[in-house]
């Protein structure tokens, strides 16, 4: 099947063209429990046992979600495989996953593809599955969302995530590298919890990189709704992307996957 997966720092999102799914991205160690409640994710992969999602937050001593400007790391692989195990039909999959713009290099993309392609055996909550990833492409987060906007001209996108903020520019439906970049902070990593202050930092970074106050800017990501009103003070044309801003990346990734895989 064809699937789009955004292995985010806070949540992992999955879209197969029909249904959206998500789970918390936290990964923690396994431990024996005397008291067990329903729900949660217990997994085993390559000899590693652990908890994921809300169960990791509840029961693991050492729990974290690896953040940063790349997803070329084992935690991201676990998130992708957990999404496919829980939500994808069949054994063989063609997928598109995301990578922050700053890390969207040939070297980083090669690492991501190599760690995902091929055969994987994973057990989740006692159910063992074989997962075969036949094809994998890596899309740039944030800027890919510009493809959801119909028509040509200049399209600006700010993708506000938990670990990074991606600033994307699409001109006549072509990615523009000059005015696309990544801020290596997000809603979960900044010390200040004041939305207005973080929105100001985001806006100033965009303006310093050649964006104009009169640009139409589309907001997406988990922090879009929280920061929307504050960003509009700097970009009066700022608006939430149509549909769910939270799932905008996987919607765009799936559009790309359909074109690549048919």
Question: What is the CATH number that goes with domain 2-141+249-261?
Answer: 3.30.420.40
pLDDT at 141 over 90: yes
pLDDT at 7 over 90: yes
Domain ranges across the chain: 2-141+249-261, 143-243
**Residue 93 in this model has a pLDDT that exceeds 70:** yes
Task: Find the helix or strand (DSSP H, E) in which 2 lies.
Answer: strand 2-7
Architecture field, domain 143-243:
2-Layer Sandwich (3.30)
pLDDT category at 224 given cuts 50, 70, 90 is very high
Q: Does the pLDDT at position 96 exceed 70? A: yes
Q: Identify the pLDDT of residue 32.
A: 87
Q: Which two tokens stand for residue 64?
A: 């974290």
Q: How far apart are CA 234 and CA 256, in angstroms?
A: 31
Burial class (CB in 10 A: 0-12, 13-18, 19+), 186: buried
Angle at 79 between CA 72 and CA 147, to 5 degrees: 70
DSSP β-ladder status, 11-15 and 2-7: antiparallel
The pLDDT assigned to 191 comes to 60
Given this chain, do its domains 2-141+249-261 and 143-243 carry the same CATH topology?
yes
Question: How remote is the C-alpha of 102 from its chain's centroid?
Answer: 14
Q: Say what the pLDDT of residue 68 is.
A: 64
pLDDT band for 108, please (50, 70, 90 cuts).
very high
């Amino acid at each position: 099947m064809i699937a789009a997966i955004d292995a985010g720092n806070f949540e992992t999102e999955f879209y197969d063209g029909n249904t959206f799914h998500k789970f918390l991205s936290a990964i923690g160690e396994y431990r024996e429990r005397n008291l067990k409640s329903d729900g949660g994710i217990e997994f085993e992969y390559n000899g590693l046992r652990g908890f994921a999602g809300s169960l990791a937050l509840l029961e693991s001593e050492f729990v974290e979600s690896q953040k940063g400007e790349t997803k070329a790391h084992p935690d991201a692989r676990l998130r992708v495989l957990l999404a496919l195990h829980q939500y994808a039909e069949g054994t063989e999959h063609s997928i598109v996953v995301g990578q922050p713009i700053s890390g969207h290099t040939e070297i980083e993309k090669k690492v991501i593809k190599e760690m995902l392609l091929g055969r994987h055996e994973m057990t989740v909550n006692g159910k063992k599955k074989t997962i075969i990833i036949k094809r994998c492409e890596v899309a740039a987060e944030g800027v890919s969302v510009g493809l959801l906007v119909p028509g040509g001209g200049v399209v600006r996108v700010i993708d506000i995530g938990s670990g990074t903020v991606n600033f994307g520019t699409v001109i006549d439906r072509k990615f523009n590298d000059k005015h696309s970049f990544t801020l290596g902070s997000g809603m979960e990593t900044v010390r200040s919890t004041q939305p207005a202050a973080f929105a100001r930092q985001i806006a100033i970074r965009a303006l310093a990189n050649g964006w104009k106050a009169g640009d139409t800017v589309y907001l997406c990501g988990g922090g879009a709704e929280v920061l929307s009103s504050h960003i509009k003070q700097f970009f009066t044309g700022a608006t939430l992307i149509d549909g769910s801003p939270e799932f905008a990346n996987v919607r765009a990734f799936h559009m790309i996957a359909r074109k690549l895989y048919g």
